[in-house]
Amino acid sequence: MIAWVVELLSDFWQPLQVLHYITVRAVLAGAFAFLLALWLGRRVIDRLREVGVHENAGACDSAAVGAIAVKAGKNRTPTMGGVFWTASILASTLLFARPDEPLVLLGAVLLVGMGLLGFLDDWVKWQRDKGRNGLSRTSKLLATIALSTYVAVVLWMLGERTGRPEISNIYFPVLKGLYAQPEILGAWGLLLFVAFTSFVILATSHAVNVTDGLDGLAGGAGLISIAALSLAVYAVGNASVAGYLHLPHIPGAGEVAVLGGAALGATLGFLWFNCHPAEIFLGDSGSLPLGALIGYMALVAKQELVLPFLAGVFVLEVSSSLLQILWFKASGGKRLFSIAPIHHKFQLAGMAEQKIVARFWIFGAVSACVGLLLIKVR
pLDDT at 59: 62
What are 154-208's pLDDT values in tens digits? 999 988 887 788 899 999 988 777 888 888 888 899 999 999 999 999 999 999 9
pLDDT at 334: 80
What are 7-21's pLDDT values in tens digits? 555 555 556 566 678
Average of per-residue pLDDT values in the chain? 88
Amino acid at 237: G
- 3-class secondary structure, 222: helix
Binned at pLDDT 50, 70 and 90, residue 129 comes out as: very low
pLDDT at 10: 56
Q: Which residues contact 141 (CB under 8 A, 6 or more apart)?
A: none
pLDDT at 130: 46
Q: What is d(CA 256, CA 104) in angstroms, rounded to the nearest whole number? A: 6
Q: What is d(CA 287, CA 338) in angstroms, rounded to the nearest whole number? A: 25
What are 301-327's pLDDT values in tens digits? 999 999 999 999 999 999 998 888 888
What are 64-79's pLDDT values in tens digits? 666 666 666 677 788 8
Quick check: 22 and 3 in contact, CB under 8 A? Answer: no
Phi, psi dihedrals of residue 177, rounded to the nearest 5°: 80, 0
β-pair type (179-180, 170-171): antiparallel
Whole-number percent of the chain with pLDDT over 90: 59
pLDDT at 1: 64
Q: What is d(CA 291, CA 113) in angstroms, rounded to the nearest whole number? A: 12
* Mean pLDDT across 244-273: 95
* Mean pLDDT across 275-292: 93
Residue 256 pLDDT exceeds 60: yes
Q: What is d(CA 306, CA 323) in angstroms, rounded to the nearest whole number? A: 21
Specify the DSSP element, H or E, that contains 180: strand 179-180
Q: What is d(CA 8, CA 243) in angstroms, rounded to the nearest whole number? A: 32
pLDDT at 13: 54
Specify the DSSP element, H or E, that contains 170: strand 170-171
Phi, psi dihedrals of residue 179, rounded to the nearest 5°: -155, 160
Q: Which residues contact 19 (CB under 8 A, 6 or more apart)?
A: 2, 3, 6, 10, 25, 28
Quick check: 312 and 368 in contact, CB under 8 A? Answer: yes
Quick check: 22 and 255 in contact, CB under 8 A? Answer: yes
pLDDT at 15: 62
CA trace torsion 126, 129, 131, 136 (10° rounding):
-50
In the chain, domain spans? 2-308
Specify the DSSP element, H or E, that contains 348: helix 342-348
Q: What is d(CA 305, CA 247) in angstroms, rounded to the nearest whole number? A: 14
Burial of 137 (0-12, 13-18, 19+ CB in 10 A): exposed
Residue 375 pLDDT exceeds 80: yes
pLDDT at 227: 97
Counts for the chain of helices (H) and strands (E), in that order? 15, 2
Question: Quick one: which of 81, 75, 21, 48 has its CA closest to 271?
Answer: 81
CA trace torsion 235, 300, 255, 99 (10° rounding):
170
What are 79-118's pLDDT values in tens digits? 889 999 999 999 999 999 988 899 999 999 999 999 999 9
